Amino acid sequence: MSMKTSTRQIDGVAIVDCSGRITLGEGSITLRDTVRELLSKGNKKILLNLGDVNYIDSSGIGELVSAFTTVRNQGGDLKLLNLTKKVHDLLQITKLYTVFDVKDDEATAVKAFGK
């Protein structure tokens, strides 16, 4: 199953609902294109909902890092929401769990972006 995204807006935050696999090739490209498109349209508060992402490989991890640094470098912020256990464990062993701002409640996550 490849990766799919759909985007909605709440209180100025672009919430990207992701599902499937973020892996080398199509999945990573889909994530990259989605984040780039949001930035090009002026969306600098991006919340990636990974609740339906059941698999990420090292390329997908790299793409998450790339998205994070790209958004930060443009003065924005990117947070992660609803990690599955597999993704949570992967971010733990790669020491990225503390790099990303990870939330498990959407309303709290949206508020955390501030005004």
Interacting residues with other proteins (CB under 8 A): 23-25, 57-59, 61-63, 65-66, 68-69, 86, 90, 93-96, 99
Given the complex with other proteins, which of 50 and 90 has the nearer CB atom?
90
Given the complex with other proteins, which of 12 and 25 has the nearer CB atom?
25
Given the complex with other proteins, which of 58 and 108 has the nearer CB atom?
58
Provide, rounded to whole angstroms, the least separation between the CB of residue 95 and other proteins. Answer: 5
Provide, rounded to whole angstroms, the least separation between the CB of residue 60 and other proteins. Answer: 10
Q: SS3 sequence, the chain?
A: CCCEEEEEEECCEEEEEEEEEECCCHHHHHHHHHHHHHHHCCCCEEEEEEEEEEEECHHHHHHHHHHHHHHHHCCCEEEEECCCHHHHHHHHHCCCCCCCEEECCHHHHHHHCCC
